[in-house]
Amino acid sequence: MHDENYKRLFAFPRMVEDLLRGFVPGDWTAELDFSTLEKLSAEFVSDALRKRHGDTVWRVRHRHGWLHVLVLLEFQSTDDPDMALRILEYTVLLYRELSRNRALGPDGKRPAVLPVVLYNGASPWTAAVEVRELIGPVGPWLAPYQPSQRYFVLDERHVGDEALPAGNLMTAVVGLERSRSPADLKRVVEALVEWLRDPRDDELKHAFADWVWRLARRFKPGDAEPPPVRTLEGLRMTLEERVAEWPKQWLREGREQGLEQGLEQGLEHERALLRRQAGSRFGEETAERLSGVLAGIADPEGLAEVGDWLVRCDTGSEFLARVAPATDGPSGRTGTASEAD
């Protein structure tokens, strides 16, 4: 299903344009005429290539001539050591189809190819990006006879935040891949609502909304299924409700545990939930610092307030600054997170 979400999104030229403009290094994209961006029709792509590649081959004209830049999109959730070889195979298949359909340039030459791999795996991408790296050592005499081709990989979960351009739909894709809470999803949805105001983007909005709805199901409180909302505006409201419900669900789970094993064990269960979620959202360093804060909170309401700030804060430092006052005073808390405003 995840792969289908990508294929659906990248059936829209704006997605390909935002990917090339915002993430492929170099200023060469300024020489492309994005108004000519089009997906190659079936007559130019063999059944074998469509089956192996998901029919995601695009072309766009260069402003200095009739050069076509072919963008081969490959969607990966695992690190593939043979990706460079696969890309080379795709390129050869594509060139053969262009020759068979007499779709070469006026001089009979093949168009340039830009292979792009979109990777959303948890571990950093480590596979070779140049096919020559898959070939054993050779001397200088043999080296010129070895195949050579590179591909560009966008490692979505490990690209730096400073490299994410505002207003770019690929930035939203990266945000969705990194979402670990309803609050994370809500921030991406709010950005998409702003970036997709043009009525011409309505179908693209629906594609994003369907993906967000599937992601929202991972964060359902208890056994509650999210309502079948398939618009970004409707999802924004649904996610606001999820954000409010999330800490309450933890509180219920902790109290149920407390009834079974005693109040203190129930509180410790709530603390463990909060530490785990803080680590997921802000990293282990924040989770470790939070442990000391939680140890000083001795009532369920105080822990619920910490859970509320966990989904409302944008950074780990902001979160810790909000919840630290909760450890002051009698019963482990005189000030509350709400009094920190």
Please write the tens of the pLDDT for every residue from 60-114. 888 765 556 667 677 777 888 999 998 898 888 888 888 888 877 778 888 888 8
Last residue of a domain, one of 123, 146, 178: 178
| In a domain? residue 294 | yes
Q: Domain boundary at 152, 178, 204, which? A: 178
For residues 7 and 146, membership in a common domain is answered with: yes
Please give the pLDDT value at position 48.
55
Cβ-contact 316, 288 below 8 angstroms: no
Verify that 89 and 6 share a domain, yes or no: yes
Please tell me the total count of domains within the chain: 2
User: What's the pLDDT score for residue 191?
Assistant: 93
**pLDDT, tens digit, for every residue of 44-60?**
455 555 555 444 788 88
Percent helix, percent strand, percent coil in the chain, to nearest 5: 60, 10, 30
The predicted-structure confidence for 2-19, as pLDDT tens digits, reads as follows: 677 888 898 899 999 999
* Residue 251 tokens, joined: 């509180």
Residue 81 CA: distances (Å) to CA of 78, 84, 92, 122? 10, 8, 19, 16
Axis-axis angle for helices 263-282, 316-323 (nearest 10): 150
Asked if residue 226 belongs to a domain, the reply is no
Same domain, 144 and 29: yes
In a domain, 239, yes or no: no
Verify that 60 and 174 share a domain, yes or no: yes
**Same domain as 156, residue 48:** yes
pLDDT at 47: 54
Do residues 267 and 120 both lie within one domain?
Answer: no
pTM: 0.68
Q: Can you give the pLDDT at residue 230?
A: 67
Q: Is residue 240 part of a domain?
A: no
Question: What does the pLDDT read at residue 174?
Answer: 93
Show the domain range for 61: 2-178
Whether 215 is in a domain gets the answer no
pLDDT confidence of residue 286: 87
Do both 57 and 156 map to the same domain?
Answer: yes
Question: How high is the pLDDT of residue 335?
Answer: 39
Spans of the chain, pLDDT less than 50: 44, 53-55, 223, 254-255, 257-260, 326-341
Structural domain contains residue 30: yes
Residue 336 lies in a domain: yes
Q: Among the three residues 125, 159, 178, which one is the final residue of a domain in this structure?
A: 178
Q: Are residues 48 and 152 in the same domain?
A: yes
Same domain, 257 and 164: no
- Does residue 227 lie within any of the structural domains? no
Is 258 within 8 Å of 273 (Cβ atoms)? no
Q: Are 251 and 169 contained in the same domain?
A: no
**254 and 129 co-located in one domain:** no
